[in-house]
Amino acid sequence: MKNIPIIGELEQAVLNYLWKHQEGSVKLVHSAIGKKRKISSNTIQSTLERLQKKGLLSREKVSYAYVYRPAVERNELIGQWLNEMIDSFSAGKSEIMISAFADLSKSIDSESLEKLEELIKKVEKKNA
């Protein structure tokens, strides 16, 4: 099983910022996130470096500062987490996963269910 990085709440906030803005320096991310949380730019810098070491961000030196960019798309990371969770809890039995999704669908609005049906049809066509 591939080890999917576990991220903390601050790391998640930083990733969400970078997914939305596509890139950011320590200064930009600190202005958007750090100041509101009353944390230092050093904390933001450490967080960005951790995410980069985990393979979730890439960075490029521009002038005197690093610019960080997402190295993985949000949907891809969520998919990896879900796959890992399903593998570890269902012991490879798809019935358990299907049952869990059926239970989850009770709390999903009809528009989202229609989108899910469309995605399932696309996968079926791709696999055919």
Q: Tens digit of pLDDT for each residue in 76-116?
A: 888 888 878 777 777 767 787 778 778 878 888 888 888 88
Please check whether residues 36 and 55 belong to one and the same domain.
yes
The residue with greater pLDDT, 1 or 123, is: 123
Segments forming the whole domain that contains residue 123:
94-128
pTM given for the model = 0.74
Please check whether residues 49 and 81 belong to one and the same domain.
yes
Which CATH number goes with the domain that contains 42? 1.10.10.10
What is the pLDDT confidence band of residue 1, given thresholds at 50, 70 and 90? very low
Helix-then-strand count for the chain, H and E: 7, 2
Q: Are 44 and 11 in contact (CB under 8 A)?
A: no
State percent of the chain over pLDDT 70.
Answer: 97
95 forms beta bridges with: none
